[in-house]
Amino acid sequence: MPLPAEFHDIAKRVNNWGRWGEADEIGTLNLVTDEVVRAAAAEVRTGRRVPLALPLKEDGVQSGLIPGRINPFHTMVQINHEIFGPETVATSDDAVTMGLQAATHWDALTHVSHSGRIYNGRPAGSITAHHGSEFSGIDKIPHIVSRGVLLDVAAAKGVDRLPGDHAVTPQDLDEAAEFGRVTVRSGDIVLVRTGQIQVYLAGDKHGYGYPSPGLSVHTPEWFHARDVAAVANDTLTFEIFPPEIENLWLPVHALDLVEMGMLQGQNWNLESLSTACGEVGRHSFLLTAMPEPFQGATGTPVAPVAVF
């Protein structure tokens, strides 16, 4: 079923192809200028740090719902191995196999395509098994350090977590910004809290993934208007799932990644951050969320840290 006219209308309004030149591969991360970074560092006033990644473990968020996306599988290669002889220093080494989108992660801009295109109008066929993403692979992102802003939609609404059928709207984002007394600015990385990750933390992987609150198809325009650099949240699917428009699957992915060229993050644990923002009395902070530079990859685990 072709994408509906409504989708294409929004796509036109948020499209950034060519905005940073034909050769650009990183999209809205261009908005994180030196000036933005200086201002972000100025957010550090207490030194308090809050980690946002889930542990990487075999019993992670993947339930089998998404085929081929396996939880981190950790094995030992050496254990206290006296490689240089008895009574010498012994070494332990380990290895992992994992889906790059399995845990707390960033989607690369190439994680989705639509109508045969990826970000900046390049052909989707430039993604191959032998090279991965020829363009806009996650390794093309040099660094992600910027101001982070928590839009705590659940807290703003006075609930622990949003219900599974709640599509987070632009109005919700406005309310959350007002709740946090924060104005979203160009180059910001916006973290949207639904509280949904509590379902996983309570042991219900299936319930975590589906049904899930998430971003509405109308949010990309809100992010575009504010020149947001990247957006992450605390759900498996990022956008509301199942979708708000019947048979229109993953429209937010297509708008954010393909049209705007804006990275998305999923499975971020924003619970402690919500608490910290409340205690510090501030919903903005320095955020470091550096991708692991997997060559050609369409995603990456990330271990973000907010610093107040």
- Other Cβ atoms within 10 Å of 78 Cβ, number: 12
Closest CA to 294 of 77, 62, 111: 111
Q: Does 206 bind a copy of itself (CB under 8 A)?
A: no
Q: Is 93 in the site for a copy of itself (CB under 8 A)?
A: yes
Write down the least CB distance from residue 190 to a copy of itself, Å.
19
- 23 vs 130, which CB is nearer to a copy of itself? 130
From CA 10, how far away is CA 6, in angstroms rounded? 6
CB environment 88-127: b (16+ within 10 A), e (fewer): eeeeeeeeeebbbbbbbbbbbbbbbbbeebbbbebeeeeb
Query: In this structure, which amino acid lies at residue 268?
Result: W
Closest distance of CB 174 from a copy of itself, Å: 27
Site string for a copy of itself, 114-153 (x = CB under 8 A): xx--------xx-xxxx-xx-----x--xx-x--------
Binding of a copy of itself at residue 12 (CB under 8 A)? Answer: no
CA distance 130 to 134: 10
Listed residue (261, 225, 264) closest to 18, CA to CA: 261
Task: Determine, following the binding rule CB under 8 A, whether residue 286 of this chain makes contact with a copy of itself.
Answer: yes
Min CB(38)–a copy of itself separation in Å = 4
Q: Does 195 bind a copy of itself (CB under 8 A)?
A: no
Binding test (CB under 8 A) with a copy of itself, winner from 6, 41, 201, 204: 41
Tokens of 45: 């006033």
Task: Identify which of residues 12 and 130 has a Cβ nearer to a copy of itself in the complex.
Answer: 130
Among 11, 98, 176, 270, binds a copy of itself (CB under 8 A): 98
Which residue in 112, 149, 150, 177 binds a copy of itself (CB under 8 A)?
Answer: 112
Handedness of CA 135, 218, 105, 27 (dihedral sign): positive
The Cα–Cα gap between 9 and 16 comes to: 14
Pick between residue 105 and residue 153 the one whose CB is nearest to a copy of itself: 105
User: How many residues comprise the chain?
Assistant: 308
Q: Exactly one of 21, 47, 203, 281 binds a copy of itself (CB under 8 A); which one?
A: 47
Size of interface with a copy of itself, in residues (CB under 8 A): 102
* Selected binder of a copy of itself within 8, 13, 48, 181 (CB under 8 A): 48
Q: Which two tokens stand for residue 298?
A: 């369409």
